[in-house]
Structure 1
């Protein structure tokens, strides 16, 4: 896929909440698929590899330890994860490093309302995380529709509108745009 063949969807319903010394992105997206189908995309390793910024060493439908391999640059990085809650097909919550991700799936007449609550330590990351999940969920939606496109992740995401999305979400949240994460800056110039 080329950058000319893909355009990001409009900004998602998103908010930023402060909780003690941490920040939570609340990212909501309406999908045209039932919760069971969306659940599979969130938990099955083969489907995750097709859209997420990481792969999983096991199905995430059950509580317990897991290894998520981040694929956001040329050096994949294994990260310890812990599925703390798995209530198919409505709630998935796990830690990755110091981050906490909570996926809530609510059936709607037209499909599923997906709400991601991604908690990070530094509020500067909220627009970056929103831009990244925005692109990933665009890819997930294509996968669910049966028209998959290649994953958009890491430094290559810059070629597919990540910088513009990061800027738009930064303005929306009133958070300064600090640009591309340091670990990807060298890779972006090479893409």
Structure 2
């Protein structure tokens, strides 16, 4: 199950993206914090583990293009909460155990409003790849323009409709 809503109550909008995963929180935590695992599913690479508070660099990857963005891990409460900045955005990952695995909630506070459907489509594809990685069937990371070949445009359009209706 995937669910996405938009909280417009603050000065910055927060995309709330929820995904049910079949692995326990401890396993999901490793995928969210280990640079080697992040490199297999996330839209960025990490210069260091995200499992301890402190500064690091997250590098956006789009083909041969690389864009370094400063990041600060504010909280890393294994295996339930990971909170960090990524450039001007803030990402808060909450991991809740369920009978079937983990309820993963991402609260992505956007520095720039109006891109929430694009961001939701991107996280949708990334967490699809994450689920396959966790299932032991890695498919390879989908980043940047490569997402266009994997249904990103249709997902973006669907999220534009659902997020504007919410």
Coarse TM-score class (shorter-chain normalised) = over 0.9
1:73, distance to aligned residue in structure 2 (A): 4.6
Counterpart CA distance in 2 for 1:86 and 1:76 is 26
Among 41, 49, 54, the alignment partner of 2:44 is 54
- Residue in 2 that maps onto 1:82: 72
More strand by share: 2
In structure 1, C-alpha distance between the alignment counterparts of 2:111 and 2:46, rounded to whole Å: 23
Query: Alpha-carbon deviations, 1:107-135, whole Å to 9, x = none?
Result: 00000000000010233111000000000
Cross-structure match for 2:89: 99
| Greater radius of gyration (CA) | 1
SS of match in other structure, 2:37: helix
What TM-score do you get using the length of structure 2 for normalisation?
0.96
Structure 1 CA distance for aligned equivalents of residues 18 and 62 of structure 2: 23
Q: Say if 1:23 and 1:72 are closer, same or farther in 2 by CA, change over 3 A.
A: farther
Correspondence 1:11-160 to 2 at 5 A = 12-160=2-150
SS of equivalent to 1:100: strand
5+ residue gaps, structure 2: none
Whether the aligned pair in 2 keeps the contact of 1:21 and 1:121 (CA below 8 Å) is no
Deviations 1:145-190 (A, max 9, x none): 0000011110110110000000000000118xxxxxxxxxxxxxxx
RMSD: 1.2
Q: Following TM superposition, where does structure 1 have runs of at least 4 consecutive aligned residues deviating by more than 2 angstroms?
A: none
3-state SS, counterpart of residue 28 of structure 2: helix
Q: CA separation in 1, counterparts of 2:163 and 2:39? A: 29
SS state at 1:22 partner: coil
Distance 1:154 1:103 in 2: 22
CA contact (8 A) 1:51 1:151 kept: yes
- Which secondary structure state, in structure 1, belongs to the residue aligned with residue 79 of structure 2? coil
Scaled by the length of structure 1, the TM-score of the pair is 0.84
Distance in 2 (CA, whole Å) between partners of 1:129 and 1:84 is 22
